[in-house]
Amino acid sequence: MLPGMTGPICLENSRLSREFFARPTLEVARDLIGRLLVRSQGGRRRSGIIVECEAYVGEADTACHASRGLTPRTRIMYGPPGHAYVYFTYGMHWMLNAVTEPDGIPGAVLLRALEPVEDIDGIRAARQGRSDRELTSGPARLCAAFSIDGSLNGTDFVLGTDLAIEEGRRVPRTAIARGPRIGIGYAAPKDRRAPWRFWIEGNPFVSRGQPPGN
């Protein structure tokens, strides 16, 4: 067990339902904290508790890819909910999102950091040279640790075989902090200030990035 891991975890293959994702993005983002992301590959499970995420909400959110409207890249954000939106950024990193909102309304939650739970040795092997607290403490890091790339774009979290989000650990709302999102300097000021990033206060696996102005 890695330092900082506390509390019981449900490992019953109890996946979140389609209805869980088909809700307002901010509600889904907050409720994803404490859930278990599972990567199945070669008959082996690798998993981690979601300890940090960010909401991206519709065409009016200038930080959201959907602000450019419906394109081949953003089509998946328009539904159905409960699928993975995986994209490449800065010419070197993959990012994993969960699609939210009812069909036709674009929204997604970026998974920013995980607390490793299962197959920790495999995670360490995938992230050689990194300290335990750097294994999955960032959106690109968790994708590298879980072998997540563009081939998983569109994967169904609810019914698919490669990725799932399960019940995980219940986190009291009083333990969940919120604040501005990270790395969105291109967005309008109101969107840079929006408190749409959620994380477990004090969890050592939360990314070390700071929102603008902090």
Nearest to 35 by CA among 152, 138, 157: 157
Averaged pLDDT of the chain: 92
Kindly state the average pLDDT of the residues 55-71.
Answer: 95
What kind and span of H or E run contains 89? strand 84-89
Greater confidence (211 vs 104) lies with: 104
Give per-residue pLDDT as tens, 1-36. Answer: 444 445 556 555 599 999 999 999 999 999 999 999
pLDDT in the model for residue 1: 40
Q: What is the pTM of this model?
A: 0.92
Distance CA 62, CA 174 (A): 29
* Domains in the chain: ranges and CATH: 14-199 (3.10.300.10)
Residues of the chain with pLDDT > 90, as a percent, come to: 86
Nearest to 32 by CA among 197, 182, 174: 197
